[in-house]
Chain A
Amino acid sequence: MKNMPKLLGDIYCRLSNLLFIMKLTMLAFFLGLMSLSASTYSQRTKISLDLKTVSISEVLKSIESQSEFVFIYENDAIKLDKTVSIIANESSVDQILSKILRDTGINYEIVDKQIIITRNSELKDLPVLNSKLNAESQQPQRKKISGFVRDEKGQSLPGVTVTVMGTSGGVITDNNGSYQIEVKPGDKLIFSFIGMTSQTIHYTNQPTIDVSLREESQELNDVVVVAYGKQRKESVIGAITSVSVPDLRMPVGKLSTSLAGQLAGIVAVQRSGEPGAGADFWIRGVSTFGENNRPLVLVDGIERSLDLVDVEDIETFSILKDATATAVYGVRGANGVVLVTTRKGKSGKVLINAKAEMGMLAPTRMPKMADAKEFMDLYNDVYKEKNNGRLFYTDDVMQKYLNGTDPDLYPNVNWLNEIYKKTTTSKRLNTSVSGGGDIVKFYVSGSVYRENGIFNAIESNQYNPSLNWTKYNFRSNVDINLHKNTVVNINLSNQYDVKNKPDTDELWQYSFLTVPIAIPMVYSDGTIARPPIGENPYNLLNNSGYVQIFNNNAQSLIGLTQDFSDLITPGLKANVKFSWDAINSATISRYKSPSTYYATGRDATGKLVFKKNNDGNDYMTLWKGNSGERTTYLEASVSYDHVFNNKHRIGGLFLFNQRERTNNFPASYIYSLPYRTMGIAARGTYSYKDTYFTEGNFGYNGSENFSPGKQYGFFPSVAVGYLVSNEKFFQSLTHVISLLKLKGSYGLIGNDQIGGGRRFAFNPEMQEYGSYTFGEMGQTGISGIATGYPGNSNVSWEKAKKFNAGIELGLYNKLTIQADYFHELRDGIFIERLSVPSVVGINVNPYVNLGRMENRGIDASLEYTEKIGDLNLSARANFTYNRNKKLYDDKPTPIMDYQNEIGKPLYQQYGLIALGYFESEEDIANSPVQQYGVVRPGDRKYRDINGDMVVNDYDKVAIGRTHVPEINYGAGLSLELHGFDLSFFFQGVGNVTTFMDGSPINGFENANLFLSGVYEDVALHRWTEENPDPNAKYPRMSIYTNENNKQLSTAKQINNRFLRLKNAEFGYTLPKKVVSKIGFSLVRFYAQGVNLFTISDFKLWDPELNNSQGSVYPNMSVVNIGVNVNL
């Protein structure tokens, strides 16, 4: 630990910075745990060699290729061409080197992963070594250059190996990330560092070469996080997709809302932009119509909510899609798995990272309702035809509403403008401290995020009904090396969030429905206004009380990893982990409902005459709700990974786990019983020459849901892969096709979250049912008992048979394409048996594992990186398409075959096919009879599907798609030049439809003039007698509900496809020289935007919402500025 004094010096000189005092206190604690123990990599790493009559340098190359060791030496100075032979089986590098370098006069020193080769008596400090090497260099054209190496955050990177291509010479960057090396023009400098992508820079006489190395998306180079472990990237033959974590960093409150379009295979939709709202997501779409179609989310291997993870804390994020990737999860893995690992400390300098952001949010689209004039014109129009041309709002009345002279009796309120603000704000502060030595590595972080809502509420300290959400995250991940082969890791995390909002769920509904001229927000004398029917949105917002919802999550994990390489056999490891999580939620509602009034006129003195709507009260009443649960999880595993004879790579895993979740506030006895799962999982992998791969996985696990003796299931999977580009015959092509891999997998996975609204579906239940009164005076009133749910002793999990075939293709080492085809058959979906004939007379239908569904599709991704001069460019794109199909649901077959849901996608929409509008009475007479009330010209005309000359419910057919998009895609581009960086990310969906419906669309459904708000678009673009436009957007309006026009049809279906700029970011990193003067290692300013614009066919509201009237909290655009500093 030679760096220690310097490091402490760094710390002390910054102590004055008060901002970080607290962090440093923690740091001091961890520093106390650090030790100066020697590096362990060389002892842990075992190397096998079988080389005959080769040069020493070839041996060294061979060692380099098998391990992470890097040899540093000067070619000219050291003769490494001596011929040696060596056979080593699982030997340490020390043993090998001492053997081959014996009697050569060459010394070596192992410094962690670097091995410095020197001639005898030349061992010295590294910078000195360099200068000596340089001094000995006799080539005149050589020039000494220098530069900085830093990571993508701008933090300086010590220990980076800088070598000149084609030579074995090299230097290592110092503590400040700076280096000096001698080069000649035309040389290529290679910068490499563990965990970073190596970079090659062409030297063309530039005086300095500053390099920023990109972190590999995985913790280690070419390693992919898989179920219960990691695999080398080239060995992976399951369908696994990872996303680069920086791509997920968006200025939003919850991680799930930034997933859409990011990974091939993810289907994500955001249905509300309310602060604290997450998004719904699926892996490869919806594969079951059973209870649970959501993926299993594992954070550090523990089933936890994705949205509780702070994106800044994430190290890796990947999704497991096919059978081979998920089989080990058995009954939990059928819907795919999301694996998130959180960051760990790395050996080296303590890094303090701080980020501060401020954002401005605005609805992507705010609906526009008809204003007072448009509303009155519309109503007059529909009124006059029923009333012999008489107008409801005569000109003078209309003027009174419009000129605002008597806003009490003739109000004119634009509710959406009054109730909602145009913009709101958010802010975020995030800090983390990480670092460590050989004994302790730590990562500690804390963050605060606050997002305000768009409710335009009147706030005071005593009473605040405004909408806002504040979230605090804390995390501490510590790894302790108890011994060179024993590591303990402790991950603690706490999330704490509070939401404040008015005590109403009806604000959106009534702010859309209430017409502009119904009532004033408040009467001029302060009297609380409310229409006789409906609500006053202003009142709902400001006078109904407020709610605070508090959530607290504590997540704890302790793990112990033991390496048995020394003791038993190389490559054998064991791990035990235990986690205990608790969630607590409390809702405190302080509500009131004051008396409200409606002004009916004025008395003789001009005073308003009020009618009281209700006897209310002005005091607050308390309502509270609590929920919570606790979960413990225990996992123990042994794993094995070893290469024999450089050809046979064998891996294995055997694992046991059990989980128990207990509801802290169960609704009944049955729900108080803990929810348990238990099982074992195993994996075996074998590859030959890293070219042919096979893998077998299985999970054997069960859940307490199923009847005793039938709780466990066996879920096997197999996969094969062929890395064609590793074949000898392919080598001539690798300069073009740098990677070609074919892979396929097949397996069985389960889903034990079968639903059906009951805990133990195997268990027959009795129920309270019916009552009857006996007795001469009815004194014997008795409540009845009946048989209840009949119980199904065969109840079992859903089974998913998954097939996956994929290809990975790399071109010119720049472009990588991955594509997978998948097919899944879901069997045994737990459904209510609707086909039990009614004569059986059961009063609660049994549930059976009878449902079947199919899902198939493709997902593909593309990555491209290029460097043009100093410009770093990277592009990525992904595409997911899936279509599911219900195969069996036990529902009776409908009369009309085309109404059968079988063979159609889940959530398929049905409706009439609209054929425009009736043009005339004659047109009506000549058309099939529409059985939804009497029709008139201007009403919608529908197709008679079954040809019976009648249009009714039997003519409703599958139209459009489903509300879950079948096509999901995303594409992004990043550019980086001289400290500036710029990135765009577009996201889009296709094959998705919803319906618009309800009074604001259909008009006047509520049969009163208070709740008849309509969209401006509807008021202005409808069919009228004056303008009988056959292409009008909306049909004739009626004074009451028009059942005919109200029917769901193609004309009311929305195509919700869209393409949006999901994320755009522009940043500038201050030059290192500037920031180092003020004591920082990185300062970056950036501006970031989310949902900056959206292109869609549908314009009335945000197309991602799933609401027939758009009357929900809109999705938000965010514009954010931030600064990121590293110390």
Chain B
Amino acid sequence: MNTQKYIQITFIFFLLLCSSCSDYLTPYLGDQMTMEEVFSKRISTERYLTQVYSFLPSDYDALNSTTPRSDEAYFSWTAWVGYLGHNNGSWNPTTDNYQTWTRYYQAINQATVFMDNVDKCNEITLENRAVMKAEARFLRAYFYFMLVEQYGPVYIWGDKASDMSVKSEEIDRHPLAKCIEFISTQLDEAAKVLPVHIQDPAWYGRATKGAALATKARLLLYAARPLFNGCDLYKGMKNHFGEYLFPQSPDPAKWELAAKAARDVIDLNAYKLYENTTETDPLQKGIKSYMGVYFEKWNDELIFAKWEGDGAFWNVRSAPPMILKDGYGGFAPSLKLVDTYPMAESGRFPITSYQSNGTPVIDQQSGYSEDGFVNSYVHPVDGSVIKAHKSCVGRDARFYASILFNGMNWINTFGGTKLVTFYTGGTSSYNNSTGDFVKVGYLFRRMSDPRNDTENGKWGSFSWPYIRLAEVYLNYAEACNEMSTRDEANALTYLNKVRNRSGLKNIEVAYPEVKGNKTLLRELLQKERMVEMAFENLRYYDIRTWMIADKESNGPRYGRNLLATNYEDSWERTDQICLPLVFQPKHYLFPIHQSQLNEMRNITQNYGWE
């Protein structure tokens, strides 16, 4: 072999060495989705905003809502459900159930990312971009609000994007005043831009000016209530910067702010209470009006609502077991809620208090009785004739719209008339088991439209309200009653608007003594609110912010004696079936979860959870 060939080989060798191109290791990632691309197109920008919406809670999913943890409900299941530990007081900072901290901070971050980027999208008009940004701003405020109602003061990023390099040991909660101030300012800012009405029906469910203002009304109402307004319990709490986390003394002026915020919603004149226009009988009209709030989609009372396409989740769980093809019989009201519905005739609340053994102290003027039965009672909703316990006779429209009681017929007759009895051996018999058996003697049927053919799998759908006008009226009435410059007239006016819709007479007619009596009106407002807003996830925070949870949500719970093997005896009150509620002062606010304490070593834990 000659030298020439060596050189050739050598040449080939170095050719190979040099053949590698310098960007051999740089992958072409061009076709993947990037932030720039997402915010360059209308569709994907809308999808991003949708994602921010997706963090809104599904109140419709009652198991994960506040309802089963409040005194208004007694859900049947006694295993595999998160509310048990919360109700028996055994929960602690490591309990994961109902912790929302991580989720809502993710939501907040996503809202901020959206706000920081939406203006890059030229496919969307300037005005629409402004509206979308305001929606994100509203949502972000709403998420913060939900953190505050659960945890009290929280960490506030303000308008700046969250920073991954933040030193976790430096993070602590900001004072409550700053939280409320920030949220309320943000809601104001959003309200300036958001439209009053969504014009395009295809986009119903998006946030409006009213949604922002009504959220602010609820926020400022809570801020004025005792828990967040200088209560002793949380007074001394400081963050590690030395700032007091809670107001150090009550500030009555906060009620004025709350009243104004509610008034702003009312003054929009964009909403009105839903009322049935076809019925003439006051009770019938009241029932249909109240039912319509949930059954008439997107009615004028709704301020902010969410579409729930499949009603089965809710309706199956509020349907009685055994007599229906699908009935899990779990969503049940507490006996206390049932007791609270006013009497139609007198307009008065039947029970003023309970003795220590659970015996109700009955307001004799109310016309309520627990003794005996009416043998051929005509149920006002379906007209069927039943043997009704006296406690179920003569109640207000909302009672009949809401309560499925022992001894009545199932609300729809697509499968024929079906008597529902809950006693042991009844058609929907009680059973001491963890499973699908009614424990308290009632089911909550308010969200179940009798027009749904549930026997054939038609479960309907919902425009499920987050906020509706009746609440704003009650917020306004409450604030007016509490203001230092008490506005009793408006308090009564707006309370009565709510009562009248259900066919009840004015409160000052039913209770003439309420005039000039701030305390009595407060008490009546609280009862009215419990009834009107039942199962709408307000009661849990109401009794906390009013600081009455230690009385209302503590001790044995009573139900009807379903251990009885006959109908009549099953109407006795008993605490032998229902599990008691445990409430300790620390339960006014959620604990910061242990994993948050681990990651942010200096964050201040709530009172009683340290």
Contacts of A775 in B (CB 8 A): 201-205, 307
Inter-chain contact A837/B166, CB cutoff 8 Å: yes
Give 1 or 0 for each of A759-793: 1 = CB within 8 Å of chain B CB. Answer: 01001111001111111111111111111001000
Contacts of A574 in B (CB 8 A): 9-10, 13
Contacts of A763 in B (CB 8 A): 29, 32
The answer to whether the Cβ of B17 comes within 8 Å of any Cβ in the partner chain is: yes
Closest to A781 in B: B309
Contacts of B526 in A (CB 8 A): none
Contacts of B106 in A (CB 8 A): 841-843
Alpha-carbon gap, A797 to B500, bound state (A)? 72
Q: Which of A769, A838, A895 contacts B51 (CB 8 A)?
A: A769
| Residue with the greatest number of chain A CB neighbours at <10 A, chosen from B29, B166, B601 | B29
Inter-chain contact B54/A562, CB cutoff 8 Å: no
Alpha-carbon gap, A835 to B597, bound state (A)? 11
Alpha-carbon gap, A508 to B567, bound state (A)? 53
Inter-chain contact B13/A776, CB cutoff 8 Å: no
The answer to whether the Cβ of A19 comes within 8 Å of any Cβ in the partner chain is: no
Stretch at the interface among A107-115, A222-230, A669-677, A1008-1016: A669-677
Stretch at the interface among A544-552, A686-694, A702-710: A702-710
The answer to whether the Cβ of B34 comes within 8 Å of any Cβ in the partner chain is: yes
- CB proximity of B33 to chain A, nearest CB, Å: 4
Inter-chain contact B51/A786, CB cutoff 8 Å: yes
Contacts of A842 in B (CB 8 A): 106, 109, 162, 164
The answer to whether the Cβ of A846 comes within 8 Å of any Cβ in the partner chain is: yes
Contacts of B24 in A (CB 8 A): 658, 676, 678
Inter-chain contact A782/B105, CB cutoff 8 Å: no
Q: Which of A636, A704, A778, A786 contacts B309 (CB 8 A)?
A: A778
Beyond A838-B102, A838-B599, A892-B595, whether A771 also contacts B54 by CB under 8 A is yes
The answer to whether the Cβ of B403 comes within 8 Å of any Cβ in the partner chain is: no
Contacts of A702 in B (CB 8 A): 25
The answer to whether the Cβ of A298 comes within 8 Å of any Cβ in the partner chain is: no
| Residue with the greatest number of chain A CB neighbours at <10 A, chosen from B51, B105, B308 | B51
Contacts of B33 in A (CB 8 A): 765-766, 785
Alpha-carbon gap, A199 to B143, bound state (A)? 86
Contacts of A587 in B (CB 8 A): none
Closest to A660 in B: B24
- CB proximity of B301 to chain A, nearest CB, Å: 15
Q: Which of B31, B54, B162, B595 contacts A784 (CB 8 A)?
A: B54
The answer to whether the Cβ of A78 comes within 8 Å of any Cβ in the partner chain is: no
Alpha-carbon gap, A533 to B1, bound state (A)? 80
**Those of B46-84 within 8 Å (CB) of chain A:** 46-48, 50-56
The answer to whether the Cβ of A192 comes within 8 Å of any Cβ in the partner chain is: no
Q: Which of A485, A564, A778 contacts B461 (CB 8 A)?
A: A778
Q: How many A-B residue pairs have CB under 8 A?
A: 190
**Those of A827-847 within 8 Å (CB) of chain B:** 834-843, 846
Inter-chain contact A787/B35, CB cutoff 8 Å: yes
Alpha-carbon gap, A785 to B32, bound state (A)? 13
- CB proximity of B408 to chain A, nearest CB, Å: 32
Closest to A841 in B: B109
Beyond A636-B17, A839-B162, A843-B110, whether A776 also contacts B202 by CB under 8 A is yes
Contacts of B28 in A (CB 8 A): 673
**Those of B159-210 within 8 Å (CB) of chain A:** 162-164, 166, 168, 171, 201-206
Inter-chain contact A835/B309, CB cutoff 8 Å: no
**Those of A161-186 within 8 Å (CB) of chain B:** none
Beyond A770-B54, A778-B307, A840-B105, whether A784 also contacts B201 by CB under 8 A is no
Contacts of A429 in B (CB 8 A): none
The answer to whether the Cβ of A194 comes within 8 Å of any Cβ in the partner chain is: no
The answer to whether the Cβ of A128 comes within 8 Å of any Cβ in the partner chain is: no
Inter-chain contact A782/B171, CB cutoff 8 Å: no
Alpha-carbon gap, A634 to B32, bound state (A)? 30
Closest to A763 in B: B29
**Those of B6-32 within 8 Å (CB) of chain A:** 6, 9-10, 12-13, 16-17, 20, 23-29, 31-32
Give 1 or 0 for each of A13-50: 1 = CB within 8 Å of chain B CB. Answer: 00000000000000000000000000000000000000
Contacts of A670 in B (CB 8 A): 29, 32
- CB proximity of A769 to chain B, nearest CB, Å: 5
Alpha-carbon gap, A1062 to B461, bound state (A)? 68
Alpha-carbon gap, A834 to B5, bound state (A)? 61
Contacts of A893 in B (CB 8 A): 598, 601
**Those of B109-125 within 8 Å (CB) of chain A:** 109-110, 113
The answer to whether the Cβ of A604 comes within 8 Å of any Cβ in the partner chain is: no
- CB proximity of A1098 to chain B, nearest CB, Å: 34
Beyond A636-B16, A784-B48, A892-B598, whether A669 also contacts B110 by CB under 8 A is no
Closest to B29 in A: A763
Inter-chain contact B205/A774, CB cutoff 8 Å: yes
Q: For the side of the interface on B, what is the size category?
A: 35 or more
The answer to whether the Cβ of B3 comes within 8 Å of any Cβ in the partner chain is: yes
The answer to whether the Cβ of B466 comes within 8 Å of any Cβ in the partner chain is: no
Inter-chain contact A765/B32, CB cutoff 8 Å: yes
Beyond A786-B48, A837-B166, whether A766 also contacts B27 by CB under 8 A is no
The answer to whether the Cβ of A576 comes within 8 Å of any Cβ in the partner chain is: yes
The answer to whether the Cβ of B519 comes within 8 Å of any Cβ in the partner chain is: no
The answer to whether the Cβ of B44 comes within 8 Å of any Cβ in the partner chain is: yes
Inter-chain contact A784/B29, CB cutoff 8 Å: no
Alpha-carbon gap, A760 to B33, bound state (A)? 14
Alpha-carbon gap, A774 to B32, bound state (A)? 28
The answer to whether the Cβ of A486 comes within 8 Å of any Cβ in the partner chain is: yes
Inter-chain contact A766/B35, CB cutoff 8 Å: yes
Inter-chain contact A770/B298, CB cutoff 8 Å: no
Alpha-carbon gap, A905 to B50, bound state (A)? 46
- CB proximity of B512 to chain A, nearest CB, Å: 45
The answer to whether the Cβ of B596 comes within 8 Å of any Cβ in the partner chain is: yes
The answer to whether the Cβ of B108 comes within 8 Å of any Cβ in the partner chain is: yes
Alpha-carbon gap, A934 to B502, bound state (A)? 51
Beyond A770-B55, A838-B596, whether A780 also contacts B108 by CB under 8 A is no
The answer to whether the Cβ of B155 comes within 8 Å of any Cβ in the partner chain is: yes
Beyond A704-B26, A765-B33, A783-B47, whether A839 also contacts B600 by CB under 8 A is yes
- CB proximity of B200 to chain A, nearest CB, Å: 9
The answer to whether the Cβ of A711 comes within 8 Å of any Cβ in the partner chain is: yes
Inter-chain contact B206/A785, CB cutoff 8 Å: no
The answer to whether the Cβ of B157 comes within 8 Å of any Cβ in the partner chain is: yes
The answer to whether the Cβ of B107 comes within 8 Å of any Cβ in the partner chain is: yes
Contacts of A790 in B (CB 8 A): 164
Inter-chain contact B35/A764, CB cutoff 8 Å: yes
**Those of B409-443 within 8 Å (CB) of chain A:** none
Contacts of B31 in A (CB 8 A): 669
Inter-chain contact B599/A772, CB cutoff 8 Å: no
- CB proximity of B351 to chain A, nearest CB, Å: 39
The answer to whether the Cβ of B38 comes within 8 Å of any Cβ in the partner chain is: yes
Closest to A669 in B: B31
Inter-chain contact B1/A576, CB cutoff 8 Å: no
Inter-chain contact A839/B157, CB cutoff 8 Å: yes
Inter-chain contact A782/B47, CB cutoff 8 Å: yes
Alpha-carbon gap, A427 to B28, bound state (A)? 49
The answer to whether the Cβ of A79 comes within 8 Å of any Cβ in the partner chain is: no
Alpha-carbon gap, A583 to B419, bound state (A)? 68
Give 1 or 0 for each of B233-248: 1 = CB within 8 Å of chain A CB. Answer: 0000000000000000
| Residue with the greatest number of chain A CB neighbours at <10 A, chosen from B9, B101, B166, B309 | B9
Alpha-carbon gap, A769 to B26, bound state (A)? 29
Contacts of A1078 in B (CB 8 A): none
Inter-chain contact A838/B101, CB cutoff 8 Å: yes
Contacts of A894 in B (CB 8 A): 598
Q: Which of B16, B107, B203, B298 contacts A841 (CB 8 A)?
A: B107
- List 4 A-B pairs, minimum CB-CB distance, nearest first: A784-B51, A770-B54, A841-B109, A892-B598
Query: Knowing that A772-B205, A784-B54, A842-B106 are A-B contacts, what are 15 other residue pairs whose CB atoms are under 8 Å apart, sorted by A's residue number?
Result: A483-B1, A562-B9, A567-B6, A676-B27, A678-B25, A763-B29, A770-B54, A773-B205, A778-B461, A785-B33, A785-B48, A786-B110, A837-B599, A838-B105, A843-B110
6 contacts between A and B (CB under 8 A): A560-B9, A772-B205, A773-B308, A774-B205, A842-B164, A843-B109
